[in-house]
Amino acid sequence: MPSPLPVPPAVFFDLDGTLVDSAPDLGGACDWLRAQRGLPPLGIAAYRPAASAGARGLLQVAFGVQPEDPEFEALRQQFIARYEAHLADNIYAFDGIAELIAALQARGISWGIITNKSIELTRVLVSRMPLLQSAVAVVGGNSAAAPKPSAAPMLLAGKLAGVDITQCWYVGDDERDIQAARAAHMPCAIAAGWGYAPSSALHHWGADAVCSHPAQILDILASA
């Protein structure tokens, strides 16, 4: 952890696998597609490790297809349509996230969302989850010139929130999150160990801290 580390004006978060567990609805959409083709369900546990990778990762699990495969785009469109219709059926915030958001706000620290999920789907999801509606900025994967690991979404989030992004922290459960925070020169990038990534991978991303529970972020803030 960098030292000394000043209190940030804002903390930004990835969405899927960091703030919320969307794997049941993402995996459910994939298994629905499999059922339409006469294939048995794989179950949510099969999809959870790929839930942060979007349609590309999920369809790889469900059908073994890659974006360059001729059937991929049709499957992607069907997946998105099904997921959009059911994206908040079984979703929930991870344990400790509500308390973390409340604690940030109590300290006068803003918070926001920077995700690679499309901004259209992100807005629908935020509209259905009151907990997320206090975000000062919501940036999707198609909001900026390029998605994470580019710095572009981070810079846009800082602009929307009215803060200097180089003073803010970022929390995410994928290596791209740490890379994007580094590209934007954010002083603290935290790996969310409660998310979808295998624990064996987290310590190889070069994050400033690896937290197994959101409450540990408050411990880091307390020492800032």
Which pLDDT tens digits describe the chain residue by residue (224 residues)? Answer: 656 789 999 999 999 999 999 999 999 999 999 999 999 999 999 999 999 888 999 999 999 999 999 999 999 999 999 999 999 999 999 999 999 999 999 999 999 999 999 999 999 999 999 999 999 999 999 999 999 999 999 999 999 999 999 999 999 999 999 999 999 999 999 999 999 988 889 999 999 999 999 999 999 998 87
Tokens of 189: 């990038």
Secondary structure E strands in 7-93: 10-13, 20-21, 92-93
Tokens of 187: 């002083």
pLDDT of residue 79: 97
pLDDT of residue 1: 61
Rounded CA separation 155/181 (Å): 10
CB atoms within 10 A of CB 50: 21
pLDDT of residue 2: 56
The C-alpha angle with vertex 18 and arms to 80 and 45, in degrees rounded to 5, equals 65
Distances (CA, A) of 60 to 1, 41, 47, 132: 35, 14, 10, 29
Residues with catalytic roles:
14, 16
pLDDT of residue 154: 98
